[in-house]
Structure 1
């Protein structure tokens, strides 16, 4: 030791290395948050559109892409039916697990969003279940898996006429053979008067199983060069004359005929029936004397007022212009000839109107107004509106809306299409 130096105690400090921070974006957290976020965004958007009054969305429905998105989201929501609650619950679970893996502001926000979406899902599901009970008198159980189509193939397909070189075909759904001729339901497809075709639906084979023969018909469709405002109902009249001529062969009763359609088909179901009973339907084939009297009408989300619908949305305007050949200012007579309220006479048959309260293409308010017109004219009618459902809610699967539609349709036919 050097002179003057002082001996000190040597202290050895052992410093342990800091733990390596866990990666914020772990392989587990990223897919969990992504799944929760996607499900949460869908749930929030779908349920918000269901809960928001349709009238609030009118400004954006004038934009084609936006209306397409709105209708697409509504279609998916209605197609999934009760399973929206399952998806919303899965979103919450995924978000909560992501928080457990690594809590942070993004995951906390996703948790909040999915939780709000789940609450909204429960509100709409309960509201729809209560309305379904009010309409049918029964509580409908949890809907089946959404991937299972509710339609079945027809028993037979026929060509009922060939007009302007175009074969017009119809699918037959026949009930079990019985001692008495079966009542006949003429089903008319939708598609904005310019698209769509006959085909399996949740109603056709089901009605056949309950004793009704179903004739699901095609008709000539409109396009830019061929507005069909004065031929589509005539083609349905043609199919009616064919049905009369072949009643003996297929063992159905030509004196017990009902028309049934959705959307554009709902308009045609109403107008054909009202014109037929008033003696004003001119079929595009066959003898006018062979047009049967219509005993009952079932119209689902029908386009009863093309004049008003053309101003409600961009797609409504497109449909009206294609079908009628231009805007109402150019063709007021054509619009008047297709608006269902103008067809009402004392001979109009009992009419069931069924609509979704969240329809962003054909507003339910238009159908409710038409029901009021029927009531004022003394025509037997029933208007059933289920909340939250958008256009085409009963087209594919056996969700709550379809189950209600089946029950009230069968009840209406049994009430008003008896011998």
Structure 2
């Protein structure tokens, strides 16, 4: 039977395309794993250039979103390379696929195994393959959306997630991240999940900074404004304002800590309502929080951009403004128990700065827990129920139950 030249060319083209896809997958997994295993300081030349730092952050966040699926991708690419080697001998492309994907698979196996055992040590739970699906799993939408204030002509909204219990529920104020210059409220892996576990959640917006509007002295005031709204509407929505916690990630983590510390110290001035309407915060939770912006500015190009817009310039130019936003300066005897979670390979908020803040809480005698999750990037828990999300949930719920009640 004679070979069909056209069919032969089609098969060769298909094999070539498959090999190219396998190379792309192998390179993606390998670069993500290198970002996870190499020390953060080694990436300083990349972090100093915004056009390089942002793609690196996106790559690493996508890596964390996929979680254990990185192993699957690397294994599939390796299988393609091995099959091609058997058919094509020592040609360069099959060799490259096999070498790249084999290295990526080995690193992914190592990082995932370390994460599994580390999270088990921190939580007592085993999360062997996470996420079950790489698709986005943010949770259901809110039960209510309210306008809690209009400031400077700008309506500020908040989403309410309410538990099914009829008695007054403890309140968790959820504060989004985004470097103080972007982001908004919206379903995330914790909002409806907390409501399902008996907590009312108030997911708030606040005024964002721009090149001409520096909100270093209004962002926490806006969250305080949302708290006064909650006090005024507590009976309407069944909120127990004697049991309040603040929770956020990144910029939201900074605000969660600063609002809690300032509210309890009596130094928070809400942008609406009165200081008398502010509740005492029973617990604060910050994930990869920007606790030391002064130290973070020189770390990366994006850190400098955030400071320019949020604070208005550099620490050298505005030292008092930076003192007002750095969380360590808000530590006082009334600071509530504070849970801090941090990825060890965060290329935006360096783990060293977050750990230094936790050490200052230790020195001040503030009840707290600092948990560093190995190999995870900034915003590791935003899009899927991966091992970072599961670890945060497993640590968050007992912390709330112990210090806020359920």
Smaller-chain TM-score bracket: over 0.9
Whether 1:147 and 2:135 are equivalent positions in the alignment is: yes
Deviation at 1:26, TM superposition (A): 2.5
1:265–1:197 Cα change, 3 Å: same
Between 133-142 and 153-162, the greater mean CA deviation after superposition: 133-142
Deviation at residue 28 of structure 1 after TM alignment: 4.0
Residue segments in structure 2 that go unaligned for 5+ positions in a row: none
Structure 2 residue 186 is matched with structure 1 residue 174: no
1:54 pairs, out of 15, 19, 40, with 40
Tell me if structure 1 keeps the 8 A contact 2:222–2:271: yes
Determine the structure 1 residue equivalent to 2:235: 248
1:77 aligns with 2:43: no
Distance 1:301 1:68 in 2: 17
CA RMSD of aligned residues (A): 1.6
2:332 alignment counterpart: 345
2:307 to 294, 308, 320: 320
- Indicate if the aligned counterparts of 1:35 and 1:94 stay in contact, CA closer than 8 A: no
CA distance in structure 1 between the aligned counterparts of 2:376 and 2:206, rounded to whole angstroms: 28
Asked if structure 1 preserves the Cα contact closer than 8 Å seen for 2:116 and 2:128, the reply is: no
Find the residue that maps to 2:13 and give its secondary structure: coil
- Alpha-carbon distance, 1:56 to partner: 1.4
> Following superposition of structure 1 onto structure 2, how do residues 1-400 of structure 1 map, counting pairs within 5 Å?
26-106=12-92, 107-143=94-130, 144-178=132-166, 180-400=167-387
User: Which of 1 and 2 has greater Rg?
Assistant: 1
Deviation at 1:75, TM superposition (A): 1.0
Number of the residue aligned with 2:392: 405
Q: Give me the whole-angstrom Cα distance separating, in 2, the residues matched to 1:148 and 1:391.
A: 17
On the 8 A contact 2:23/2:96 being kept in 1, the answer is: no
Q: Count matched residues.
A: 398
Q: Structure 1 or 2: larger helix share?
A: 2
Aligned partner of residue 340 in structure 2, secondary structure? strand
Q: Distance in 2 between matches of 1:166 and 1:63?
A: 34
CA offsets 1:87-106 (integer angstroms, 9 cap, x no match) = 01001011111112212231
> What is the CA–CA distance in structure 1 between the aligned matches of 2:245 and 2:12, rounded to whole Å?
62
Equivalent pair of 1:301/1:391 in contact (CA under 8 Å): yes
SS in 2 for 1:253: strand
CA distance in 2, matches of 1:82, 1:206: 22
> What SS does the aligned partner of 2:122 have?
helix
| Shift >4 Å, 4+ stretches | none
Q: TM-score, normalised by structure 2?
A: 0.96
Residue 300 of structure 1 deviates from its aligned partner by: 0.4
Deviation, structure 1 residue 59: 2.6
